[in-house]
Amino acid sequence: SSELTQDPAVSVALGQTVRMTCQGDSLRNYYANWFQQKAGQAPVVVIYAKTNRPSGIPDRFSGSGSGNTASLTITGAQAEDEADYYCNSRDSSGYQVFGGGTKLTVL
Amino acid sequence: QLQLQESGPGLVKPSETLSLTCSVSGGSITSRSCYWVWIRQPPGKGLEWIGSIFYNGDTYYKPSLKSRITMSVDTSKSQFSLRLTSVTAADTAVYFCARLGFNYPFDPWGQGTLVTVSS
């Protein structure tokens, strides 16, 4: 099955913009989804099908991508955005795959 | 709204079988527009998709776990289940159940249940 690669950790100053990336061959053919997971909680989808934001998710979250790379951008990061972020996609066999996750620290 | 709840033993001995059940409420487990999935997360580590099951019993299993996994669905009880045989300490994790829509990712999730493999 294919793999998705994420940077282990990123940091951002309060109110600034941060972009997290996810790389993998499957992203050339299938959309990425992004999940936010806070400590002790189940993940929550923040972006699906590369660019779509579920209702209730602040519009500071946005998704993009090209080729084998998907990106999650937080514009004007808030303290409550500090969490682990996981990308997810599927491969040609229908198997689901997650990236290793990025730990976001808001300074 | 749709809710999922995992249940099962929190402690399993090495070499034995882990069995978990996910109860679905507030929606139909016989939906033809979604799969029901198991995902796990070892302590301090990332998420790992284990497998997916359709209401009619069709399954997709993670290839590296396929020889040890069985998933089933009981529509009369609105539940689906996971069996993982020959467990080792590496199977210690929080196990989540979730819905996977055809056009929407994993949502909602259960709260997760910690299963520890230890003698």
Q: Is residue B54 within 8 Å of residue B100, measured between CB atoms?
A: no
- Residue A88, pLDDT above cutoff 80: yes
Assigned token pair, B72: 């089933």
On whether any CB of chain B is under 8 Å from the CB of A102, the answer is no
Please give the interface size between A and B, counted as residue pairs whose CB atoms are below 8 Å apart. Answer: 52
Query: Per-residue confidence at B39, pLDDT binned at 50, 70, 90?
Result: very high
Single out the residue of B18, B12, B13 nearest to residue B81, CA to CA: B18
- Residue A11, pLDDT above cutoff 70: yes
CA dist., res. A66 & res. B115, Å (int): 39
Which class for A91: exposed (0-12), middle (13-18), buried (19 or more C-beta within 10 A)?
middle
Q: Is residue A72 within 8 Å of residue A31, measured between CB atoms?
A: no
- CB–CB contact A43 B48 (8 Å): no
- Work out the average pLDDT over B8-31: 96
On whether any CB of chain B is under 8 Å from the CB of A14, the answer is no
User: Looking at residue A61, what is its pLDDT?
Assistant: 98
Q: Is residue A104 within 8 Å of residue A6, measured between CB atoms?
A: no
- Work out the average pLDDT over A42-56: 96
User: Looking at residue A94, what is its pLDDT?
Assistant: 87
On whether any CB of chain A is under 8 Å from the CB of B69, the answer is no
- Residue A1, pLDDT above cutoff 60: no
A 37-76 residues with CB < 8 A to B: 37, 42-45, 48-49, 54
Side-chain-side CA neighbours of B102 within 13 Å: the count stands at 5
CA dist., res. B107 & res. B87, Å (int): 27
Select from B46, B60, B110 the Cβ nearest to the Cβ of A95.
B60
Other residues' Cβ atoms within 10 Å of the Cβ of residue B7: 14
Average pLDDT taken over every residue of chain B? 96
- Residue B65, pLDDT above cutoff 70: yes
| Residue that has been written with the tokens 């795959």 in this structure | A97
CA dist., res. A6 & res. A4, Å (int): 7
On whether any CB of chain A is under 8 Å from the CB of B35, the answer is no
User: Looking at residue A2, what is its pLDDT?
Assistant: 65
CA dist., res. A68 & res. A25, Å (int): 5
Query: Per-residue confidence at B103, pLDDT binned at 50, 70, 90?
Result: confident
- CB–CB contact B47 A98 (8 Å): yes
Q: Which residue of B has its CA nearest to A46?
A: B105
Assigned token pair, A48: 């699906």
- Residue B90, pLDDT above cutoff 90: yes
Length of chain B: 119
- Work out the average pLDDT over A60-64: 97
- CB–CB contact B46 A86 (8 Å): yes
